[in-house]
Chains A and B, each alone.
Chain A
Amino acid sequence: MTPDAPPPSPPPERHFLEMAFANRSFVIGAIITILVAAMALLSFLWTPYDITHLVVADRMKGLSLAHPLGTDHLGRDILSMIMIGARNSIAVAIVAVGIGMGVGVPLGTWAAARGGLIDEILMRFNDLVFAFPALLSAIMITAIFGPGAINAIIAIGIFNVPVFARVARAGALSIWPREYILAARAAGKSKALITIEHILPNIAALLLVQGTIQFALGILAEAGLSYLGLGAQPPMPSWGRMLFEAQTRMMIAPHLAVFPGLAIVITVLGLNLLGDGLRDLLDPRLRRER
């Protein structure tokens, strides 16, 4: 049965913000993400202390008014280090997701549009990249090309490519058989143009959700790499290396490990909640079940 009367509900755009504010995981996720981003931005202008300035006399101080999160083994302020570390984590994750999307989405939509042999080759190559544990291969890449933030970004980025290629391909494949695509083909539009005009806007939501999840994974991967000393190099602080340095002093000064650890956990949690919330908001089928 096709209801002939137009659906009574007003266009979805009008309600989007209202629904967004009613979605608990979206709101919490967005707040955490905004706070972390704000903290990273603030660190460009101001940090409580200059972290290149070592005050050995103040080393491994506990929590105090002067140092809200204490100081590390070289007397640097932990809050300041976490703030600057956020910058590093976010930059690595953004660029890595950017590489993944920038390469993966065109590959995936191309595979979906062409089908046949090209699709097969691209997707089997994807499987090949997928078959290596991402972190292990990232270690391999940084071990070969030398440690550093740039190589970490590239390594994490490469392993985002197949993820986005798959999501884009699957999304595109479900749009291709629609009649409005046939109509566009009957209107003589090329596959590339159809992909840009019709396919991409319809899979954008899917990609956005996957993007937030990959972003969270990127932050974890960056922390993992810098924990192993393969990420950003000193004196640039990073959450992963702060954890590593705190490891041997766990018994004397647990706060050295607790706060960078919490920073990672909260950021990843916030991004995952944001991704969950976005998915619920953008996928009308899940909306009712909230």
Chain B
Amino acid sequence: MSLLEIENLSLSIAGHPVLRDIDLRIAPGEVLGVVGESGSGKSMTALTVMQLLPELARAKGRVTFDGVDILAAPEEAMCRLRGDDLGMVFQEPMTALNPVKTIGEQVAEGIRWHTGANRPDAEARARAILDRVGLPEAKFPLSRFPHELSGGQRQRVVIAIACALKPKLLIADEPTTALDVVLQAQILDLLRDLVAENRMGLMLISHDLAVVADMADRVSVMRNGAVMESGPTVGVLSEQKHPYTRQLAEASTHVPARARSQEKAEKQEPQPLLSVSGVTRDYPGRRKGLFAKPEPFRAVDNVSFSLAPGHAVALVGRSGCGKSTLARMILALDRPTAGEIRLNGETLGGRSEYELRHARRNMQVVFQDPYGSFNPRHRVERLVAEPLHLLDRKPTAAQRRECVAEALESVGLNAGDMHKYPHEFSGGQRQRISIARAIITRPKLIVADEPVSALDVSIRAQVLDLFADLNQRLDLTYLFITHDLTVARAITDDVMVMHEGRIVESGPTATVLQNPKSEAARALVAAAPDLERAVATRQRATGD
């Protein structure tokens, strides 16, 4: 008998259809992977099971969990189920915990509410489950507050809350999307162990085929609120019968065509475009006493490298390793504590904003979040034209419009789009606008800080193609900052691995990723999910 059975589920929110005829089934001890792109209805399906839907939502069909008809269950009955037999883990560990309560209180809260246990008993059980998720007493007493933990540790607390009462079904909605690959691998291992220990059902929602291939027994592929294909993981992902599944798989392993990298490498450029030598950045640390001088925290530690024109280089590392700090210093948005950065032979340190204009014209930036990188109150024309401010001669309104139109067209948008506001565009289109803004001054260097990690796989493939294309057409040099090795592999010539503020390994991308030497690089490569590898492992396991 199935633990969760969803039959013909349709959902509409304020009259808009969101889900159509969803059929899903999870048996005890089974992991069901639900994959699909943004807006495919994955999260709404999960929220329907939890009955945590928005107010105007109307669901039709049948959802049975452990013999209970969920859609007909009164709120009281759902309250008893949620957090007891039904657990949920959310994507964002930063906001899923209450910042003013200790982790012990938050784990014990559910235990006390559902079992009526007294405080000491509940705390003992909370302690046990925190030990289980890898937060031992010695380092993580119950009295810790969420802000004292890192992202991965917080996600462990969230899992502890969800699993404290040994739920029959755990719903994990993109549980590792906000984490770097090494933490992702650890969290996935933990979830896998918990499933095996308690014969718990797990609905794992992810946009990442490789993660699902690695974890799930069965997969359902969703698109536009409907299930496209369902079946055992190996069958669905190795045969890729459904065209959409194939499209997803191709997009997630997509490598843009880059004709020029070879020829470029042979031509020895005399002068590097960017050279970074001995750069260090300290931040003031936490004050230990009233008069004690705080020990500085070293975010970037004596980093040196140089970048040849026309090259694409990836800077990879785990979150918090100092990648973004380094990028900001290269962009002259932050000053190094020590060391020197030169662009085209021109040093950036100790210059006024006015003197930096020339250098700034030659380097631009593309940020990760296509939603946060635009002032929502300006139109695209004004947003894209912003760097034109750096030109010595101010362009006339007509010239400006022409530049913007040209930039928009070269990133695959229409010139007519310049009169719209950013909220009228999708995530992928916004990232194109962001690139248009970066290339409008014809810069030589583009620093891209996780430019595709907030995008869906198919959109990501398109944006990577665009980067590759612009690299050739406009003779751009890229510094890609990413924790995603597939991005590095797809688009860069060289890779630098950063760990705790230092560059621990660098070399041609293929060489470093095939045969990592440093421990940090090895950990990154081992933890990176890989679709083909995961399917192959699974095939071997089921073949036996």
Contact = CB atoms under 8 A, between A and B. Distances in A.
Q: Is chain B a partner of chain A in the same complex? A: yes
Interface of A: 1-8, 11, 178-180, 182-190, 197-198, 201-202
Nearest to B91: A1
A184 B459 contact: no
Contacts of A186: 331, 333, 360, 363-365, 387
Nearest to B333: A185
5 contacts: A4-B426, A182-B328, A187-B364, A189-B386, A201-B375
A180 B427 contact: no
A178 B368 CA distance: 12
**Which of B43, B356, B373 has most chain A Cβ within 10 Å?**
B373
Contacts of B364: 186-187
A188 B353 contact: yes
Say what secondary structure dominates the interface of chain A.
loop
Contacts of B434: 183
B424 A183 contact: no
B432 interface: no
Contacts of B387: 186-188
Interface stretch (B34-42, B72-80, B270-278, B531-539): B34-42
B333 A2 contact: no
A186 B449 CA distance: 13
Contacts of B371: 2
Say what secondary structure dominates the interface of chain B.
loop
Interface string B16-30: 100000000000000
**Which of A2, A4, A189, A197 has most chain B Cβ within 10 Å?**
A2
B244 interface: no
Given A2-B427, A4-B428, A189-B386, A180 B207 contact: no
Interface string B360-374: 110111011111111
B42 A1 contact: yes
Contacts of B331: 186
B356 A188 contact: yes
B31 interface: no
B377 interface: yes
Given A1-B43, A11-B423, A201-B377, A182 B38 contact: no
B434 to A, nearest CB: 8
Contacts of A8: 16
Nearest to B207: A1
A187 B39 CA distance: 33
Interface in B321-362: 328, 331, 333, 353, 356-357, 360-361
Given A2-B455, A188-B357, A188-B387, 19 more contacts: A1-B42, A1-B207, A3-B38, A3-B39, A4-B426, A4-B455, A4-B459, A5-B38, A5-B426, A6-B426, A178-B372, A179-B373, A182-B365, A182-B367, A183-B386, A186-B363, A187-B360, A197-B375, A202-B375
A188 B390 contact: yes
A179 B327 CA distance: 13
Interface of B: 16, 37-39, 42-43, 91, 173-174, 177, 207, 328, 331, 333, 353, 356-357, 360-361, 363-365, 367-375, 377, 383, 386-387, 389-390, 421, 423-428, 434, 437, 454-456, 459
A103 B396 CA distance: 34
A11 B173 CA distance: 29
B372 A180 contact: yes
A276 B375 CA distance: 26
Contacts of B91: 1
Contacts of B43: 1
B437 A189 contact: no
Given A1-B42, A188-B356, A180 B377 contact: no
Nearest to B391: A188
Contacts of A4: 37-39, 426-428, 455-456, 459
B371 to A, nearest CB: 7
A180 B368 CA distance: 11
A188 B426 CA distance: 27
A1 B390 contact: no
Contacts of B365: 182-183, 186
A187 B426 contact: no
A8 to B, nearest CB: 7
Give the 5 A-B CB pairs with smallest separation, nearest first: A179-B373, A187-B387, A4-B38, A179-B367, A188-B360
A198 B383 CA distance: 11
A46 B229 CA distance: 78
A6 B425 contact: yes
A143 B250 CA distance: 80
B389 A188 contact: yes
A6 B375 contact: no
B207 A11 contact: no
B114 to A, nearest CB: 28
A185 B207 CA distance: 33
